[in-house]
Amino acid sequence: MKILVSAAEIQASVESLAAKIKEREGNRPLTVIAIMTGSIVFLADLIRKLEMPLRVGVVQTSSYRGTVRGPLSINAAMMPDIAGRDVLLVDDIFDTGRTLQEVIASLADFQPRSLSSAVLLLKRGRQEVDLRPDYVGFEIPDEFVVGYGLDYNDLYRNLPFLAVLEPSDLAGQNS
């Protein structure tokens, strides 16, 4: 595989995203809702750089099996009450944008006071929605990436960097 973004570059980007979030949100309490499972590493790093009173919750969606998209499902059972709260939705990557758009629509039903969104990655030229996340770490080319939480068939989430899979990585590994 080929390294696309190094661990040090990721840390610098998370630092600057946190600075922008602090600038905009000030010291108001914030509820961070992470979209499972790809955002776990980003979530862990980002929240440790924020200093306001902070709650954390998760929602689960899934749309990929391998590199193939299936129907999107959303499970909000593990989300704290967000009524009247300032909410920051966190996801790993903004690809077509449909996941974030659908999660935003579901969360709006719970009547948060405000709802903003942060993604580590945005894939250039892939968006199918008008929405754009409020905070974006990196814009990347249209390639399938893994690492730093992102998976291929649930593997590679533990890589500390972001990498592009090559055909030899896609074939033949299944443990």
Closer residue to ligand IMP in complex, CB, 30/162: 162
Choice from 22, 49, 55, 98 touching ligand IMP (CB under 6 A): 98
Is 91 an annotated catalytic residue?
Answer: no
CB of 60 to ligand IMP, least distance (A): 11
Torsion angle of alpha carbons 110, 116, 65, 163, nearest 10°? Answer: -160
106 binds ligand IMP, rule: CB under 6 A: no
CB of 16 to ligand IMP, least distance (A): 21
**Near Mg ion in 19-38, by CB under 5 A:** 38
Closer residue to ligand IMP in complex, CB, 110/144: 144
* Number of residues counted as binding ligand IMP (CB under 6 A): 17
Residue with tokens 């949100």: 25
92 binds ligand IMP, rule: CB under 6 A: yes
Q: Out of 81, 92, 95, 109, which one is annotated catalytic?
A: 95
DSSP string, 115-167: EEEEEEEEETT---SS---SEEEEEE-SS-EEBTTB-BTTBSTT-SSEEE--H
Choice from 17, 33, 43, 150 touching ligand IMP (CB under 6 A): 150
DSSP string, 37-98: TTTHHHHHHHHTT--S-EEEEEEEEEEEETTEEEEEEEE-TTPPP-TTSEEEEEEEEESSSH
Cβ neighbours for 56, distance < 8 A, ≥ 6 positions apart: 31, 32, 33, 34, 43, 47
97 binds Mg ion, rule: CB under 5 A: no
**Near ligand IMP in 12-71, by CB under 6 A:** 35, 38, 63-64
Could you give the residue numbers annotated as active site?
A: 95
Binding site for ligand IMP (CB under 6 A): 35, 38, 63-64, 91-99, 144-146, 150
